[in-house]
Amino acid sequence: MIPWRTLLPIAAAIVLTGIGLLSGSYAVTVLGFAFIYTIFCTGLNFFMGYTGQASFGQSAFAAIGGYGSAILCADYGWGPLPALIVTMVISGIAALLVGYPTLRLRGHYLAMATFALGLIVYEISIEWTSLTQGYMGYSGVPPLSLLGYELGTVEQQLVALLVLALFGIFISNRLRQSRFGRALAAIAGSEAAARALGIDIARCKLIAFVIAALYASAAGSLFAHFVGFISPEVFGVTMVVQSFAMLYLGGIGTTWGPMIGAIIVSILPEALRGLQEMQDIAYTAILIFILIFAPRGLAGLSSLFARGKSRKLEEA
């Protein structure tokens, strides 16, 4: 029996998708971005929320995924699915190589080192014009396809993105409840205590980092297919801050927080018309407000109503 706390968010996401499908292609596009960001934030949540670390450079892996998929599909005629998987493997290996030395750092140094990683990849995506076409961006990326069947319309792609986002959350949740996931929770609680329990801290952090990178890479690839065009600006500092706004708004360290945050932050600027050019100011204002007044986010508010149950869920 699946508990209602799991069924309710799934049902809400499906209903929302249905409303989106009925209200035209613009709403579909907005929701599509929300689900792509859900995948990105779910990975970030795994590393930050569950493991208690920080990465300000996840955009680097999204860039690898996005550019990798774009180049493989547009120039080499690969199918979207193999390209997605291959770029995820590349991102995973990159995360492994980069994370091994970097994750020994703590606090400010970890924050700045990961931030630098994001900036390095951003600069490279601008300067390595023979590969990435620089500021011009990369266009002509084909839409998603599954088993030779191309998802030509945005509506079909939206449904696929919904399924993928839910699948991503499912995997993340299963991992969290595994022995490995409990080890991560122990690290987040106290590194010294976790070490005393015999947990290999460096290895666990590294694996969590790689998992987050895989999610980021997949989100980058999906973005490239959904929009059909990518440029360096997509994977800039704004992406980092926007994803953090989603994560903290939805509730960091919770299962559904990333999706709730991604949907709200994506829809909000659309709901408040005339705010278009103020979009980034709105994100940052929301983020700062949340960080000061409700650091546990909206998902944290539910514990006010169902104290006993949610406590149990968080400790699981």
Partner 1 sequence: MPNAIEFTQSIVNGISVGLIYGLVGIGFCVIYNASGIVNFAQGVFVMLGGMVCQALLTSLGIPLILAVVLTIPLVALSGLLMEVAIVRPMMNRGATLFAIILATLAAQIMVERITLLTLGDRPRTYEEFTSGGPLKLGDVAIGYQLFWILGCGALLVLALWLFFTRTRSGRALRACSQNREAAQLLGIPVARMMLLAFGLSAALGAIAGILVTPTQYTAYNVGTPFGVNGFIAAIIGGFGRAGGALAGGLLLGVLQALAIVVLGAGFKNVAALSVLLLVLLLFPNGIFAGFGPNAKAH
Q: How far is the CB of 159 from partner 1 (least distance, A)?
A: 33
Return the residue of 11, 197, 281, 316 that touches partner 1, per CB under 8 A. Answer: 281
To the nearest whole angstrom, how small is the minimum distance from the Cβ of residue 163 to partner 1? Answer: 31
Are 219 and 262 in contact, with CB atoms under 8 Å apart?
no
List the x/- string, 190-229, binding to partner 1 by CB under 8 A.
----------------------------------------
CB of 307 to partner 1, least distance (A): 21
Our CB check for partner 1 shows the closer of 156 and 254 to be 254
**Residue 44 found at the interface with partner 1 (CB under 8 A):** no
**Using the rule CB under 8 A, is 101 a contact of partner 1?**
yes
Say which amino acid occupies 118. Answer: G
**64 vs 165, beta carbon nearer partner 1:** 64
Site string for partner 1, 56-85 (x = CB under 8 A): x-----------------------------
Tell the smallest beta-carbon distance from residue 277 to partner 1 (Å).
7
Closest distance to partner 1 from the beta carbon of 126 (Å): 8
In the list 8, 97, 109, 200, the residue contacting partner 1 (rule: CB under 8 A) is 109
Nearest residue to 230 (alpha-carbon basis) of 86, 126, 94: 126
Least Å from the CB of residue 28 to partner 1: 27
Piece of the chain touching partner 1 by CB under 8 A; list 4-12, 102-110, 192-200, 300-308: 102-110
With CA atoms as reference, report the closest residue to 269 among 288, 283, 289.
283
Tell me: does residue 244 bind partner 1 (CB under 8 A). Answer: yes
Instruction: Identify which of 258, 243, 301, 293 has the alpha carbon closest to the alpha carbon of residue 118.
Output: 243
CA distance 293 to 23: 34
Q: Single out the residue of 75, 123, 200, 314 in contact with partner 1 (rule: CB under 8 A).
A: 123
Contacts of 284 (CB under 8 A, 6+ apart): 241, 245
Q: Which of 124, 175, 201, 268: binder of partner 1 (CB under 8 A)? A: 124
Contact window for partner 1 (CB under 8 A) among 20-28, 88-96, 198-206, 241-249:
241-249
Binding-site ranges for partner 1 (CB under 8 A): 48, 54, 56, 101-102, 104-105, 107-109, 111-113, 115-117, 119-120, 123-124, 126-127, 237-238, 240-241, 244-245, 248, 277-278, 280-281, 283-285, 287-288, 291-292, 295
